[in-house]
Amino acid sequence: MQKSFYQFVLTYRGGDWSDQKSRFAESAFMDHGFPKTSTSFEELSSYIETQADEYLSTSAFDELWELYRLKFD
């Protein structure tokens, strides 16, 4: 069974705060509205674009999505 994007992102929690992927993971974890079960690029991208904060950034999302896609496609 494929992990959701959120489950994948959580593997970056606890990393160096200078790493935007770690900051994204912490922000997603703290965001109670984050689509935790989604595997859909469109759903996640739309959420990030409308709910983005300084740590839940589109650049970090793009980098993480590419890693997620490579691992689970």
* For the chain, domain boundaries: 5-72
| Cα angle, residue 59 at apex, residues 27 and 13 outer, rounded to 5° | 35
Ramachandran angles phi, psi of 59, nearest 5°: -70, -40
Are residues 62 and 68 in contact, defined by beta-carbon separation less than 8 angstroms? no
CATH superfamily of 5-72: YozE SAM-like (1.10.150.260)
pTM across the whole model: 0.91
Q: What is the DSSP letter of 63?
A: H
And the tokens for 4? 């959701």
Cβ(73)–Cβ(39) below 8 Å:
no
Over its length of 73 residues, how does the chain's per-residue pLDDT go in tens digits? 689 999 999 999 999 999 999 999 999 999 999 999 999 999 999 999 998 788 899 999 999 999 999 998 8
